Structure 1
Amino acid sequence: MQAASSGFGKAPEALARILDSAPPVVSDPLRGETTLTGRWGHGELHDHLPGMEGHVIITYYGQPQDIVWRVEGQRLAGQTRTGSITIIPEGHDGRWDIAGSIGVSHVFLSQERLQACAEDIAGGKTVDLLARVGFDDPLAGRVMEMLGREAAAPDPSARLFVEQATDLLCTQLVRGHSSFSALQGPAPRRGLADWQVRKVTDYMRAHLDAPVGLDELAALAGLSRFHFCTAFKAATGKSPHEQLVALRIERARQLLLRPDLPVTEIALAVGYETPSAFAASFRKATGMTPSAFRQGV
Structure 2
Amino acid sequence: MTDAAMRFGKAPEELARILDRAPPIMGDALRGETRLTGRWGHGALHDRLPGMEGHVVITYYGDPQDIVWRVGQQRLAGATRAGTITIIPEGHDGRWDIAGPINVSHVFLTRARLQDCADQLAGGKSVELLARVSFDDPVAARVMEMLGREAAAADPSARLFVEQATDLLCTQLMRGHSSFKALEPAVDRRGLADWQVRKVTDYMRAHLDESIGLDRLAGLVGLSRFHFCTAFRQATGRTPHEWLVTLRIERACQLLAGPELSITDVALAVGYETPSAFATRFRKQIGVTPTAFRRAL
Same fold (TM over 0.5): yes
Q: Tell me which residue corresponds to 1:52.
A: 52
Q: Tell me which residue corresponds to 1:141.
A: 141
Q: Tell me which residue corresponds to 2:174.
A: 174
Using a 3 Å threshold, how does the CA distance of structure 1 residues 35 and 228 change in structure 2: closer, same or farther?
closer
Contact 1:43 1:100 in 2 (8 A): yes
Q: Tell me which residue corresponds to 1:187.
A: 186
Q: Using the alignment, how far apart are the partners of 1:18 and 1:229 within structure 2?
A: 37
* 1:67 and 2:67 correspond: yes
Q: Tell me which residue corresponds to 2:89.
A: 89
CA deviation digits over 1:195-216, x for unaligned, max 9?
xxxxxxxxxxxxxxxxxxxxxx
Q: Using the alignment, how far apart are the partners of 1:228 and 1:166 within structure 2?
A: 32
CA deviation digits over 1:45-65, x for unaligned, max 9?
000000111100000000000
* 1:98 and 2:98 correspond: yes
- What one-letter code is carried by the residue in structure 1 that aligns with 2:106? H
Using a 3 Å threshold, how does the CA distance of structure 1 residues 136 and 45 change in structure 2: closer, same or farther?
same
- What one-letter code is carried by the residue in structure 2 that aligns with 1:126? S
Displacement after TM superposition at 1:6 (Å): 10
CA deviation digits over 1:266-294, x for unaligned, max 9?
xxxxxxxxxxxxxxxxxxxxxxxxxxxxx
CA deviation digits over 1:58-114, x for unaligned, max 9?
000000001000013100001111110000000100000001210000000000000
Displacement after TM superposition at 1:227 (Å): 6.1
Q: Tell me which residue corresponds to 1:43.
A: 43
Contact 1:71 1:94 in 2 (8 A): yes
* TM-score computed with the length of structure 1 as normaliser: 0.60
Contact 1:39 1:104 in 2 (8 A): yes
- What one-letter code is carried by the residue in structure 2 that aligns with 1:38? G
- What one-letter code is carried by the residue in structure 2 that aligns with 1:92? H
* 1:13 and 2:24 correspond: no
SS of aligned partner of 1:53 = coil
- Structure 1 residue runs of 5 or longer lacking an equivalent are 191-225, 231-297
Paired residues in the alignment total 192
SS of aligned partner of 1:179 = coil
Using a 3 Å threshold, how does the CA distance of structure 1 residues 150 and 189 change in structure 2: closer, same or farther?
farther
* TM-score computed with the length of structure 2 as normaliser: 0.60
Task: State the identity as a percent.
Answer: 76
Q: Tell me which residue corresponds to 2:113.
A: 113
Displacement after TM superposition at 1:121 (Å): 1.0
SS of aligned partner of 1:165 = helix
Q: Tell me which residue corresponds to 2:224.
A: none
Q: Tell me which residue corresponds to 2:25.
A: 25
Q: Tell me which residue corresponds to 2:156.
A: 156
Contact 2:5 2:33 in 1 (8 A): no
Q: Using the alignment, how far apart are the partners of 2:171 and 2:194 within structure 1?
A: 34
